């Protein structure tokens, strides 16, 4: 018997793209590799996996259904449209901010004008908090990409976002995390129990994380 045994798993992965104008945008360094590895591991464990992905250059894992999105608003809408689920894993690196009024045409540089351009930003929706508060996921997992105070920030997110498990990693180390094949994680559950995952390939870590989720779910 597979450990997830037909449970519906919704996973977000990759970055989001927030338009400035038709040719420019705000994004981040996420490659989507961790989220895609989790989708593959969950599918191999017997889950019915839906992967909601920002723009990445990765093939869809075999047996996984994939929905492509661009912005944080698009990603939230896709998540809400595919609730309820048994397990929700928010592995996407969602941009915290979006441009308040994106231009519908390319913003031209004026060579005779030395003034700066000001972009007004507004907050993007908090996807994992929205899903958690909707109570349409039986078990909710988030990520905390941090540069300092990793454990403290991760615990704070568990409380603020009302989630069951968080996976924290140090993105100040350029040899792991974003755009790398390896990572190192510290998992913390909603009782503040800690589960360290030493540095390994993202595929190996994904399988170990899915095993932990099965035990805690």
Instruction: Identify each DSSP E strand in 54-209 by its residue range.
Output: 65-68, 85-90, 97-99, 121-123, 137-146, 165-170, 182-189, 194-201
Work out the angle at residue 126's Cα, subtended by the Cα atoms of residues 124 and 130, and round it to the nearest 5 degrees: 135
Angle, helices 202-216/33-44, rounded to nearest 10 degrees? 50
CA–CA dist 209, 80 (Å, integer) = 24
Instruction: Write out the two tokens for 48.
Output: 């019915």
CA–CA dist 130, 135 (Å, integer) = 9
Q: Active-site residue numbers?
A: 28
**Alpha helix positions (H), the chain:** 33-44, 72-81, 127-134, 150-161, 202-216
53: cis peptide before it, omega within 30°? no
Burial of 87 (0-12, 13-18, 19+ CB in 10 A): buried
């Amino acid at each position: 018997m597979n450990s997830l045994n037909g449970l519906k798993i919704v996973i977000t992965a990759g970055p989001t793209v927030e338009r400035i104008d038709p040719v420019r945008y705000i994004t981040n360094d996420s490659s989507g590799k961790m989220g895609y590895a989790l989708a593959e591991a969950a599918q191999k464990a017997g889950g019915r996996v839906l992967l909601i992905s920002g723009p990445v250059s990765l093939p869809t894992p075999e047996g996984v259904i994939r929905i492509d999105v661009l912005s944080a608003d698009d990603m939230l809408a896709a998540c809400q449209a595919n609730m309820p689920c048994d397990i929700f894993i928010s592995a996407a690196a969602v941009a915290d901010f979006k441009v308040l009024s994106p231009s519908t045409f390319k913003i031209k540089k004026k060579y005779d004008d030395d003034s700066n351009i000001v972009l007004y930003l507004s907050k993007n929706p908090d996807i994992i908090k929205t899903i958690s508060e909707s109570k349409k996921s039986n078990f909710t997992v988030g990520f905390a990409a941090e540069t300092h105070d990793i454990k403290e920030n991760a615990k704070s997110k568990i409380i603020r976002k009302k989630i069951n498990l968080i996976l924290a990693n140090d993105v100040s180390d350029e040899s792991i995390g974003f755009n790398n094949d390896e990572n190192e994680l510290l998992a913390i559950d909603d009782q503040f129990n800690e589960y360290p995952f030493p540095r390994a390939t993202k595929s190996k870590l994904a399988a170990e994380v899915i095993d932990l989720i099965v035990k805690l779910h």
